[in-house]
Structure 1
Amino acid sequence: MSLATLHVRKTFEPDRLRSILVASPNWLGDAVLALPVLANLRRSFPDARIALLVRSWLSPLFRSLPFVDELVELPRTGELIWAATALRKRGFDVALLLPNSFRTALISRLAGIPHRVGYMADGRGSLLTVGVRPSSGMVLHQADAYLGLLRALKWDSWLRPTGFLLPPESDAEAEKLLTESGLSPDVRVIGIAPGASYGTAKRWPSERFAEVADLLADRLGIVAILFGSPQEAPLTRAVHERMHGAAINFGGRTSLTELASLLRRCALLLTNDTGTMHLASALGIPCIALFGPTDPHRTGPLGLGHQVLHDPPACSPCRYRNCPIDHRCMQALDVERVVAAAEAVLTRSPLTAVANVRRTPAIFLDRDGTINEEIGAIQHPDRMRPIPGAAEALKRLGEAGYLRIVVSNQARVARGDATEELVDVTHQRLLELLHADGGETDAFYYCPHHPREGRFPYRRDCLCRKPNPGLVQQAAYEQQVDLERSYVVGDKVSDMLLANRLDLPSVLVLTGYGRESLERLHAAGGPMPACTTKDLLGAAEWIVQRRSPG
């Protein structure tokens, strides 16, 4: 189901975009959480010039990114005049506005950017040419909220890269800083970020940070590194003064790149809900994240290996910068619990989190003509009819240990013959019919685009329309698929081409368009399927027989 509604005042052709300006958030944590947007934009528009509009103090975060061609720094003063003059000369085709502020939209409007996309917020709807209104009641992580702009435009929005922030020389920079502080390279260190720029409500008591650091030093020989902004230097100094064990106080003493370099040297980061936490998680550093007034479902660390400690009272979440009562949300987190969480991270193998993610082989299945009878251009739940034997085939594949992932072109959405909601409802009806006969599928991915026909925002030459590999790549990423042991099954030439592009074995079923497809493949000289079978049940039998033991 779509999670947002578009308010379109002016359409554009995505395939004609040559230059894209992305307005970055202004806070460190939000800027880090916006990085997946840039990665997905680059995937969707590999040939476009992508520029990032950013505050100067955040520029170092983005300088080594492969997804951005240029950084455009906002001036410290006179930004509206600058937008109407210098920025206007740049001639960007579209602006993607990640901050929800009126001022960001005004800057893009004054810059004369013809297409401006952002959320309908802060009274700026009239400044947007494509406004996005998220569905009410949805609790989204902030990273997903930013990606929601791409999802609303039907652009790629699933890639979540990590560990790409720093240049190669950063490790040497970190070691130099630590050596100058008297720390030898073989000493194991953890980071501690006791501050929170939003206010004291998000801060765990400073004396407890000191106590945790001392206990870990006594039990595991750990040295703590304290991090904080210049404004938080008094806080890191207070924590340092309370500690009895070895520690290095870098509070107020690091640039953004130095902070990132030192974080990558840490075995973990003990932190409140901070921008430093998000920077660490983006670098692949496990976090012990202490949450109180904020919701970790919205702003928790992304990735594997983190431990979020959160005992929310009835008054949490809240928006207070300073707690007006007894700060019970943070007081509830005791020292021993935090120490135990840190010990669990520090004593496990570095590969444990990755090893615990077991990849599973999958069968990537076309739908119409393979699982159900062809239903034509007009889609309706009442027209769904499973092909005889399809439910049994899916059951056998599941019992053999395969994920059953449906990947389907649904250009009828682009043409206006169906809505995305109708596609979902119709597929749900198919699942009900299959379930009645013991069949199941594990996931459904479909492409709503068409390269030449249809309406905004669905008309575009995308990466997900088969035989392009985008749907399979997304499914493999999100479902933890072992591609080396996977197959493609379908009745169309596009399915065989898809398998060939991914170097996967394919099975052509002779239901649907299968016989016509076989003739076309022979006439074109391939690519020929690894196996041709009467129907999906025959394909399942062939695949199961080929599976090696274990």
Structure 2
Amino acid sequence: MRILLSRTDRVGDLILSTPAIASMRRSFPDAHITLACSRYNSVVVDRSPDVDELAILPEDVAPAAFGSRFRGVDLAVALAPRNVDHALVAATRAPRRVGYTYATRYLARLTLRTKLTDVVLSQADPATAERRPRMTIAHEVDQVLAVAIAAGATTLFRDLVLPVTEDDRAAAGPLPPRPIVVQLGKRWTEGGSTAESALTLFRELRALGHPLVATYGDDARALGEAVGRAGIADLVLGDLCFHAWAAVFAQAACVLTIDTGATHVASAVRVPTVVVFEHKWFRLASQEWSPYRVPNAILRKPPDESDASLRASRAEIVAAVASLL
């Protein structure tokens, strides 16, 4: 049996799809499983024990043209509710083509009925979640597992899969023992947070008595360099390769991050995590993309950047980190 899975979007979303991928492997142990992904997110699965082959979607190739290369597969599954993955899977013309979309996207639902043989509906809609505060939104892991079940998966695996090796730890370099790791990102400097407040947060986290390690990528280079210049972290690490970055998280007593893929890397290496979500769409995001199966605290950014709001937010963050140490 030949199976094609597709997920070409973000790193964090592919991490949250690894239980579905593992479930497909366990349910079809003798199948040849190919995963179509992007160059960007392929780092999540380049060591996957559940995939026989990776197929990287070139940036200059249309998804439908790429999907047509897989005609002859028995089953094709879009693990993301995106046009790219739907088009790729549809183009395989597999006897069974499975995917999902949101229940409130009525036009997409009608269109997909002509492209896929099985369409799973998700209730994860931002506007609906805000209008109905008591509404429960399934975690993305469970949404993607529902797609795997629709595709025939009968042996479910619910843990995130992200192997980290001793070589990864060595590549990350020596860390202070049991640090609080703060993942810096652009959102620390906007929309209910400021760069100055983020620097002050480091000083206030000192009171917890754990070493502080800051990590950052290109989007937060200026903030990372500011933390380094201020001398408010024991170690500042930028431009780590993906697996070394995961290895830093794996050695943490707690990871603190805004809402990015770092949340899901921390969950995959099973570390307590504090996530500060954006004020807008909080009800949806804090359920659908919350830390998965690890001790956690979920916080909401303030609606403004007044001194009082920022001070209260920092106090809430420090208390949340303390509760997980």
- What TM-score, normalized to structure 1? 0.50
Give the CA deviation at 1:304: 2.4
Q: Report if aligned partners of 2:202, 2:233 keep a CA contact under 8 Å in 1.
A: no
1:143-175 alpha-carbon deviations (Å, 9 max, x no partner): 211112134456337532246432442222222
Q: Counterpart in 1 of 2:252? A: 266
Query: 5+ unaligned residues in a row in structure 2: which ranges?
Result: 125-134
**Alignment-derived partner of residue 74 in structure 2:** 93
8 Å contact 2:37–2:54 — kept in the other structure? Answer: yes
The answer to whether the Cα contact below 8 Å between 1:20 and 1:48 also exists between their aligned partners in 2 is yes
Q: Give the fraction of aligned pairs with identical amino acids, expressed as a percent.
A: 25
Paired position in structure 1 for 2:50: 67
The 1:261–1:135 alpha-carbon spacing in structure 2 relative to 1, beyond 3 Å, is closer
Can you list the C-alpha shifts for 1:433-453, whole angstroms capped at 9, x where unaligned? xxxxxxxxxxxxxxxxxxxxx
- Is the alpha carbon distance of 1:198 and 1:58 closer, same or farther for their aligned partners in structure 2, counting shifts above 3 Å? farther
Contact 1:188 1:223 (C-alpha < 8 Å) held by counterparts: no
Name the CA distance, whole Å, in 2 between partners of 1:287 and 1:264: 11
Q: Runs of 4+ in structure 1 displaced over 6 angstroms?
A: none
What code does the residue aligned with 1:246 have?
Answer: A
Matches of 2:15 and 2:259 in 1, distance apart? Answer: 13
Match of 1:32 in 2: 15
User: CA–CA distance in 1 between the matches of 2:290 and 2:194?
Assistant: 20
- Equivalences, count: 302
CA contact (8 A) 2:5 2:33 kept: yes
| Residues 57 and 63 in structure 2, CA contact (< 8 A), matched pair in contact too | no
What residue number does 1:248 align with? Answer: 235
Counterpart residue number, 2:304: 326
For residues 34-82 of structure 1, give each alpha carbon's deviation from its aligned partner in whole angstroms, at most 9, with x where no partner exists. Answer: 1111121122111112211110122121122211111111112123475
Instruction: Confirm whether residue 297 of structure 1 aligns to residue 287 of structure 2.
Output: yes
Structure 1: stretches of 5+ with no match in the other structure? 1-17, 179-184, 313-324, 347-550
**Residue 214 of structure 2 is aligned to residue 225 of structure 1:** yes
Give the distance between the partners of 1:283 and 1:205, measured in 2 at CA: 29
The 1:332/1:39 distance shift into structure 2, 3 A limit, reads: farther
2:132 is aligned to none
Quickly say closer, same or farther: Cα 1:160–1:20, change in 2 above 3 A. Answer: same
One-letter identity of the residue aligned with 1:259? W
Structure 1 residues 343 and 274: alpha-carbon distance in aligned structure 2, compared to 1, 3 A threshold? same
**1:118 — aligned with what?**
99
What do you get for the CA RMSD once the two structures are aligned? 3.0
Trace 1:345-424 onto structure 2 (pairs within 5 A): 345-346=324-325
CA distance in 1, matches of 2:312, 2:12: 23
Give the aligned residue type for 2:251.
R
Check 1:277–1:74 CA distance in 2 against 1; reply closer, same or farther (3 A cut).
same
Query: Cα distance, 1:97 vs. partner?
Result: 0.4
Aligned to 2:41: 58
One-letter amino acid of the structure 2 residue matched with residue 232 of structure 1: A
Which letter maps to 1:192? Answer: V
Q: Within 1, Cα distance between the matches of 2:94 and 2:151?
A: 18
Contact 1:191 1:224 in 2 (8 A): yes
For 1:337, the aligned partner's letter is E
Alignment of 1:41-190 (within 5 A): 41-80=24-63, 82-83=65-66, 87-88=69-70, 91-120=72-101, 122=108, 123-134=111-122, 139-153=137-151, 155-156=153-154, 158-162=156-160, 164-175=162-173, 178=174, 185-190=175-180
Larger Rg, first or second structure (1 or 2): 1
Q: Which stretch of the first structure deviates more once superposed, 125-134 or 206-215?
A: 206-215
